[in-house]
Amino acid sequence: MLDWLQKLQAEANQPPARPRGLFYADNACIGSVEPDLMRKIALIANEFGCKQLLITEQTTNGICTGWRVAAGYADTTSALMQLASMLRDAGLTGAWRDEQLAVRDEAGAQIATIERAAVRPLGITTLAVHLVGQAVDGRFWVQQRAFNKPNDPGKWDTLMGGMVSAGDTVESALQRETWEEAGLHTSDLQSLRYGARLSTQRPANDSGGAGYVREHIDWYTATVPEGILPNNQDGEVAQFALMDKAQLLAAMRRGEFTLEAALIMAAVLKLL
C-alpha cells in the first residue's frame, strides 16, 4: 500500500490522547468522556445550583472509569441538552449548530438526541453520508469547502458530505445534503448506488482538546449527467472542480483533501 495512504488510515484510527471513562444514559453506554472534564462540569453545576448532572459510575484505584446521566429529568434528551449548554458555556464544544443528532445505545436504537456541537467531548458516535460524483467522461466532481467552515476550511471534499441528523434516515440526508451542498436532485443523477461504510475514531481537533471522534460514514456513488452542473445552495462550498484520476491522486498526496474524503476516494479508486 502507498505510504501516504497508510498514514491516512493510521490517522483515521487512533486511540484517545488521554484516558476516557465510559458515558452512560438509560443504562446504555452512549459514549466516553475525560474524567477531568466531567469533574469540571459537575463543579459548574453545583456552583450555579443546577441539578447534579452526572454521578461517578465506578472507580478503579481511585481513577474514575465511568459516568452516568443523573435521574430526575423529564427525559434523557433534556438532561443532555442541559449538559451540552454547560459544555458550551465552558468553551468545550465545537461550533454550535442548533442541530440535533441521534444518541443510540449499543444495539443501535435511538434513545435520545443531542446538540451536534456536544458529541465530540462526549465521545458519542455520529453518522454521516457522502456522495462521490463522476462526470460522464469519468472525471470526478469535487468541492472545496468554504474557508469559514469550522472544520477543514478550504480543503477539498467529495461532491457532497454531511451529517445525518436525528430526524433523518441516511437516504433522506443524502437527498437533502445533495441539494443544499451541490444544488442537485438525487433523482436526476445516474447510477446512484451505495458504496460502503467508512468508520473512523480519533482525537477531535475541537472541544478544547477533550473530544473524541467516533463516526460512521455511508458513502454513495453516482454519475452527474452532461449539462447539469453543481451549484451550492447553503454557502458552505467555495467552488466545485472536475479532477481526473491523476489530479485527484496528486491532490490527495499533498494533503489537500479532508481525511474522510481521501479515504473514500481511495476506496472508489480501489487503492485500499
Residue with the bigger pLDDT between 59 and 11: it is 11
Which domains are seen in the chain, by residue range? 3-12+126-268 (3.90.79.10), 21-118 (3.30.750.160)
Cα–Cα distances in angstroms (integers) from residue 81 to residues 1, 40, 132, 182, 234, in the given order: 44, 17, 34, 32, 26
pLDDT of residue 248: 97
Considering only CA atoms, give the Rg of the chain: 20
Give the C-alpha separation, 156 to 102, whole Å: 27
What mean pLDDT do residues 9-33 have?
Answer: 91
In the chain, the percentage of residues whose pLDDT exceeds 90 is: 66
Q: Are 115 and 78 in contact (CB under 8 A)?
A: no
Q: Are 119 and 90 in contact (CB under 8 A)?
A: no
Q: pTM to 2 decimals?
A: 0.91
Give the C-alpha separation, 200 to 187, whole Å: 30
pLDDT of residue 269: 95
pLDDT of residue 38: 76
- Range of weakest confidence among 38-42, 119-123, 148-152, 188-192: 38-42
Given a cut of 80, whether residue 4 has pLDDT beyond it is: yes
> What is the residue-averaged pLDDT of the chain?
90
Residue with the bigger pLDDT between 39 and 129: it is 129
User: Would you place residue 76 in the very low, low, confident or very high pLDDT band (cuts 50, 70, 90)?
Assistant: confident
List own/partner pairs for 68-77 with CB under 8 A and 24 or more apart. Answer: 68/23, 68/24, 68/25, 69/24, 69/25, 69/26, 75/112, 76/25, 76/26, 76/103, 76/111, 76/112, 77/103, 77/112, 77/113, 77/114
Residue with the bigger pLDDT between 23 and 142: it is 142
